[in-house]
Structure 1
Amino acid sequence: MGIRGLMSFVEDHRNEFFTDLKLRDTKIVIDGYALFHRLCFSSDMELQYGGDYDSFTDVVQEFFESLSACNIRPYVVLDGGCDVSDKKLTTLKDRAREKIQMAHSLSVGGGGCVCPLLIREVFIQVLIKLQVCFVQCFSEADRDIMTLANHWDCPVLSSDSDFCVFDLKAGFCPLSGFQWRNVNTLKGTQNCYIPAMCFSIDAFCRHFSNMNKALLPLFAVLCGNDHVNLPIMETVLSKIRLPLGATSPKGRRHHRVLGLLNWLSHFAGPTEALDNVLKHVPKKDRANVKELLCSSMEEYQQSLVKLQDFFQYGAYVCPDSLNLGLPEWVLAALTKGQLSPFISDALVLRRTILHTQVENMQQPNAHRISQSIRQTIYGLLLNASPHLESMPWKAPPAQPLAVSEVERINKNIKTSIVHAVKLPEHYSDFSKLTELSLDKREMLLLETLKVKRTILDPVPPSLRLPVAVSSYWLQHTEAKAKLHHVQALLLGMLMGPLHARTNSPDKEDASDDGAKVLYKELHRVKAQTRLSKKLDLDAAHVFCQWQCCLQMGLYLNQLLSTPLPEPDLTRLYSGSLVHGLCRELLASAPSVESLLSMCPEAKQLYEQMFNAMQSSAPPESFLPKGKSHSKKKRQKKQGSSWPKNKVGTTSGTKCGHEGSNRFGLLKVENLEEHVEASELE
């Protein structure tokens, strides 16, 4: 949620509404959504190139290391899908439009804050690696966070202004004042603490003539939060004489906040104030407006959910989800973050929102390429309809199963209807999906990705899903991926294994030296790209499409209980590195061969991934950028778009692995010369 103007107002009154804390030796409940956004936007993260997930991973690790140093025990609570009523849809659409504008600004070299597409998944993987306790709620988490923090009598860490309205026993610490990078030591001891600000709801109410704190939920609703957006409320507020007061030099900026708080402070409680509000509403609308205001005020009361049960016993009861009759395995997977809120939105609401990236706004949105994967996901989910109770979208059996997708069209949004794919009979019982054999689950995944199982066998298990997804990506002509895109992407995927090797505590051997040199060289390319700030918009769009494929491939794999091992996303893709490699490869400095000559193990891994992708991708994907039309025509005329059984030469020496070493193609500096040499043979 969020109350317009409230956070900036209370921060302007820091000395009046906040107390200083030296936070240590305590539990703390963390708003996960707010935290990963804060760490993404306030830590010099690269956003223009689609995200540096490795840099983000490092920042998240540093954050939790600071907490550990101060014996602060974090419990992260993540939002789930949208409320069953979908009452925030209007707000979500408005935010989607705002993100499109910010993404466009970033794409043309301006500013903006747009989270990379897979940031949430990366965040969850880091939490798991660090063994940080976390839970994913069924829908919005604010009330559950408040209830858990009050149960434990510990503070909440967030940036959401709604926590200025919740009556929190131990207070609310805004992320903006949480100095986790500035760990201090208590004088005369070895005990560490983090300087923090803590909002005091009592001080806040005292400031407004000892206002009854029970009035704050009505203030939030009238001021405007994510749930209430009625035009009639603006009319009501215009009729109420809101005193500006002289409590702030920035009164004009916060006129609405100040006026409402001063006005409400004259009432004994919410009932009296609500009756006064309704006097300004036409009689025919009063009942509906009162119901809406009361239900919205309920959002600030204690939740029935007891998240402490999850942290103690590994499960908790959520009345909203139980009422829907969802299979137990789905509820458990959602709670543990093993299924995305995208899945619950599609299942419960038959509506999803496809998030915009920093892409080419003149092209169709990047998510179009992964539509067939989503159709399979929808086919699995919507097969659940006969088994679920009280679904809001319960449709007649004759109606085709479909999902509404909110997607980018140019620089605006549009809702499109996407039909679910009809699946074979053995996938029809959604409640027993996890009981299917591994072979059947893997078969559906690979058939959706249009990849044969045998081509993945040489690839290490941890990289099979990214390679399968990349093969799917290459098979779609709308991706317009070229050889240098593929090379850069695969070289970028080496960063994870190289990081593990160079940071291993095990005894070093001589081969580690090559890995360190290559790792250092890739970091140089990444750093140089971050300095240049020149975005190739076509390349950006191609890699956005790849991330969309990876996201949906990951979700389908999760829904099928991971027939392929879940990949480590934390160092799988670094946008600045991949874009920088694209530029350097086009300039032939360095070549793939010269880079990989430093580390034979990395070269072997690269070959395994490249061969798997090339065997299932159309030959034109591997044509060099800028290849002349005459050359293409000549190839077509001679009936060969790419020589499959010959490999190029390096330094005048012919390779002798005919028909098997497709990686040889990448050893040639000039691919056009390679084609011509093959033709001469």
Structure 2
Amino acid sequence: MGVPGLSGFVEKRGAFLVERRVRDTKLVIDGSSLCYQLYFSSAAADDFRRGGDYASFSSCARSFFAALRACRVSPCVLLDGGRGPADRKRRELARRARQRLETARELGRAGNGAAADRKRWGGGGALLLPLLARDAFVQALRALGVPFVQCFAEADRELAGLANRWGCPVLSLDSDFYVFEVAGGYLPLSHFQWRGVRGEEGGYVPARCFCAESFRGHFGHVGRGLLPLFAALNGNDYVDAAAFEAFFGGVRLPAKRGKESRLQGLLRWLSQFAEPAEAVDNVLKHVKKHLREEMRELLHAAMEDYAPSDVNLEDFFRDGRYECEDAKKAGVPAWVHDAFTRGELSPLVIDVFILRSTFLHVQVENMRRPSAHSTALPIRQVIYGLLLGAPPGAQAASPTKESNKPPVVCEFDRLQSTLKKTYIQAASLPADFCDGHFSLDKLIEVPMSCRRMLLLETLGVKMSSLEPFPSHLQLPVAVTCYWIRHSEPKVKLHQLKALLLMIVSGELHRITNDPDPTDLCTEDDRIAHNVFLEWKEKKLQNKDFDLDAAHGFCQWQCCLKMGLYLNQLLCTPLPEPDLSSRLYSGTLVHRLHQELKSTPSLENLFGLSPKMTQLYQVLLNMVES
């Protein structure tokens, strides 16, 4: 959620943010805020237009949690899940998607100073999180052993509830936590100086903590239960403030105009009431009679959003149990919900299953071409078929056809630079899959060989073609083959070679920096790696941003993301690739692509390592064939 203008309002009045030395405590962390903040405070932020640098991002996450460890802080991360059964945030999500599309369009047209000139932490949609950043973040949490849970819907209430159970602070960048009553306090991420840990023996993270009691007292002792009404009247992700313009026109607020004056006036007006019910009655006096009950329900629902959840996440972190009534009511199979809470399935899965709707991620691509997501459409259709049970051999359907036709999913994606919703038919599953008697709740019981066959058939490859490659590269290789066949316009050879060289560079880094007893690093490999690093350090003469190349690499990432999600839904018949292992670096692949156009001999960049040369050739031959 979020209350417009409230963060700036609090920041300007520094007395509400008191210094705190964070150490020897549990810390409940808003994972969505942390993912965003860490990405754009890492080296990966330097060029996010080119599609992400997940290794740098993962390295930043490791440093963050190492800093907490040094101060004996025990983190617990809560991630947002799906949109929730009521889908109350859909209008706000559509607004943000339009804003991001405008940002992406400007970034695609801008010169090379665009990234350097951006404003950090501001402008709402001014920064675009790369496509796989959230997936890389979840992998990093798992690899680091950080306790985390993916909530069924938005995590705010669970964050407040768990923090209150433990009596510890919440770390977030969400202005709603100025409204929640968190006993241990709210630590804004913007003031959490984890890079500046102080004190060697008794180390601590310098931070600032929001003091709700001081805040309420400053404005005439606003009652404890009145801040949720303040947030609802001001407007948030669920409530449009325009609904209460009649109220603001009818009460006496400061004559001085502006958002901050309005916030201050509203707080002082609320301070005259002892209880929320009395204040609500007074608000409704300024609303037309025939709208009062509707507005009362709207206010009560909005205020309930700030009641800490009674879901006991302690049970999850103690023994893995997460009871969720909304999931049960929606008929989510137990194994799907369990995997979802562990972050093994994407929010897309829950949104499609419950709402038959999903928003596709905005990227910097060529807006004159079809969306990069269209390349991965057949993979998404199989995901939809598995989730919604499309009958074998069913014919095409529209949203208005009979229920025995394949179900459809509403996708929000771009048409040029405009947000558009399209109804997509779920794919019919092969007749021999589960002998034509498929049900999602039994998918986990389907033999591994059948699940792998469905994955490989969707991607259009045979297992025998993947066997020459390390297991962790099999899914990316299969996805690359799929991309070559489905990409429009067709992938150019130097674009393919740049992508494969990037994958090989990741493998070379892996064997030289994380030696595997079964994959020994030779002296030739070390020399080749040093040569590669020297090449990377050279300054590129021409740093022009190639929008068409970016579009192609966006397509590949879309295919990888949906290949990853299909693999997860099928309970990983192929090993999940490690996104932090330099599998994709937008900066690197764009540079390789640019230099290959003028210097074809760059293809021999890893020529000093016979092992890497062979890997590159096998990759190229397999994908081209």
Normalised TM-score (structure 2): 0.92
Which position in structure 1 is the counterpart of 2:8? 8
Letter in 2 for 1:72: V
Which position in structure 2 is the counterpart of 1:321? 327
Letter in 2 for 1:229: D
Alignment of 1:303-342 (within 5 A): 303-342=309-348
Q: Which residue of 104, 111, 130 corresponds with 1:116?
A: 130
CA distance in 1, matches of 2:259, 2:509: 49
2:157–2:307 CA contact under 8 A, matched in 1: yes
1:476 to 1:384, Cα distance in 2 relative to 1, 3 A: closer
Which position in structure 1 is the counterpart of 2:576? 566
Which position in structure 2 is the counterpart of 1:540? 550
Question: What SS is found at the alignment partner of 1:192?
Answer: coil
Alignment partner of 1:609 is 2:619: yes
CA distance in 1, matches of 2:84, 2:540: 39
1:371 to 1:309, Cα distance in 2 relative to 1, 3 A: same
Which position in structure 2 is the counterpart of 1:678? none
Which position in structure 2 is the counterpart of 1:588? 599
Q: Which structure is larger by alpha-carbon Rg, 1 or 2? A: 1
Bigger mean CA offset, 291-300 vs 488-497: 488-497
1:255 to 1:399, Cα distance in 2 relative to 1, 3 A: farther
CA distance in 2, matches of 1:556, 1:349: 19
State the shift of 1:540 in Å: 0.1
Q: Which residue of 399, 402, 407 corresponds with 1:401?
A: 407
Which position in structure 2 is the counterpart of 1:72? 73
2:511–2:521 CA contact under 8 A, matched in 1: no
State the shift of 1:480 in Å: 2.5
1:173 to 1:122, Cα distance in 2 relative to 1, 3 A: same
Question: What SS is found at the alignment partner of 2:18?
Answer: strand
Q: Which residue of 451, 456, 461 corresponds with 2:466?
A: 456
State the shift of 1:514 in Å: 3.6
Alignment partner of 1:218 is 2:218: no
State the shift of 1:477 in Å: 4.3
2:54–2:584 CA contact under 8 A, matched in 1: yes
Question: What SS is found at the alignment partner of 1:77?
Answer: strand
Alignment partner of 1:269 is 2:275: yes
1:409 to 1:520, Cα distance in 2 relative to 1, 3 A: farther
State the shift of 1:491 in Å: 1.2
1:346-387, Cα deviation, whole Å (9 max, x unpaired): 1110000001111111111110111111111100111199xx
Alignment of 1:251-262 (within 5 A): 252-262=258-268
Letter in 1 for 2:224: K
Letter in 2 for 1:101: E
Q: Which residue of 249, 274, 279 corresponds with 1:238?
A: 249
1:122–1:569 CA contact under 8 A, matched in 2: yes
Alignment of 1:129-528 (within 5 A): 129-185=143-199, 190-229=201-240, 231-243=242-254, 252-383=258-389, 397-425=403-431, 426-427=433-434, 428-504=438-514, 512-523=522-533
Contiguous gaps of at least 5 residues in structure 1: 246-250, 386-392, 616-681
1:529 to 1:365, Cα distance in 2 relative to 1, 3 A: farther
2:234–2:241 CA contact under 8 A, matched in 1: no
2:511–2:520 CA contact under 8 A, matched in 1: no
CA distance in 2, matches of 1:354, 1:576: 23
CA distance in 1, matches of 2:544, 2:410: 36
State the shift of 1:399 in Å: 5.0
2:254–2:262 CA contact under 8 A, matched in 1: no
CA distance in 1, matches of 2:37, 2:573: 34
Letter in 2 for 1:69: A
State the shift of 1:486 in Å: 1.0
Bigger mean CA offset, 86-95 vs 496-505: 496-505
CA distance in 1, matches of 2:141, 2:505: 20
1:294-341, Cα deviation, whole Å (9 max, x unpaired): 011101012121111110001211111122221111011100000000
CA distance in 2, matches of 1:510, 1:401: 50
Letter in 1 for 2:447: S
CA distance in 1, matches of 2:231, 2:405: 41
Letter in 2 for 1:280: H
State the shift of 1:604 in Å: 2.0
Question: What SS is found at the alignment partner of 1:274?
Answer: helix
Letter in 1 for 2:30: D
Letter in 1 for 2:468: P
Letter in 2 for 1:273: A
CA distance in 1, matches of 2:251, 2:543: 50
Letter in 1 for 2:382: T
CA distance in 2, matches of 1:314, 1:510: 38
Letter in 2 for 1:55: S
Letter in 2 for 1:220: A
Normalised TM-score (structure 1): 0.84
1:50–1:544 CA contact under 8 A, matched in 2: yes
1:68 to 1:3, Cα distance in 2 relative to 1, 3 A: same
Question: What SS is found at the alignment partner of 1:413?
Answer: strand
1:24 to 1:495, Cα distance in 2 relative to 1, 3 A: farther
Letter in 1 for 2:316: F
CA distance in 1, matches of 2:189, 2:534: 32
State the shift of 1:429 in Å: 1.1
State the shift of 1:278 in Å: 0.7
Letter in 1 for 2:246: T
1:374 to 1:527, Cα distance in 2 relative to 1, 3 A: farther
CA distance in 2, matches of 1:319, 1:409: 37
2:390–2:428 CA contact under 8 A, matched in 1: no
Which position in structure 2 is the counterpart of 1:93? 94
State the shift of 1:533 in Å: 4.7
Q: Which residue of 548, 565, 569 corresponds with 1:555?
A: 565
State the shift of 1:613 in Å: 1.2
